[in-house]
Amino acid sequence: MTRERDRERRRGPAEPDDDRYDDEAEYVEPLSAVEAAREGLRMIAGLTGRDVQGTTSLEATSDGWRVGVEVVEDHRVPASTDLLGLYEVDLDVDGELLGYRRVRRYQRGKGEVG
């Protein structure tokens, strides 16, 4: 389902075609957690041009959502030695990108230390 269709689905019932509604902002239901996770994946794939592995975290913020996304930054042989990056994507309540950053790089086969 495309992002535009997602937004259309989240919109409330259509208002009557009346001039008094022209100055009012159209209500769009905020992004759900599932939609935010999908949008975070899509955004990072588009911005980095790299293969995304999946979401690692999802957090509601005062502005919308923060999505953690794992990305393959360098494919290696064997695949267990791929270099991965963990990115955080900040989205507003409508799913628009506020910002993103890489917070960590690590080798796939290495576990968390500590």
pLDDT tens digit string along 68-96? 999 999 999 998 899 999 999 999 999 99
User: Per residue in 3-47, pLDDT tens?
Assistant: 554 555 454 455 555 555 555 667 667 889 999 999 999 999 999
Alpha-carbon distance of 14 to 31, in angstroms, equals 19
DSSP per position, 59-107: EE-SSEEEEEEEEEEE--SSGGG-EEEEEEEEEETTS-EEEEEEEEEEE
Burial pattern 23-50, b for ≥16 Cβ within 10 A else e, equals eeeeeeeebeeebbbbbbbebbeeebeb
Report field, pTM of the whole predicted structure over 0.85:
no
Q: How confident is the model at residue 23, as a pLDDT?
A: 55
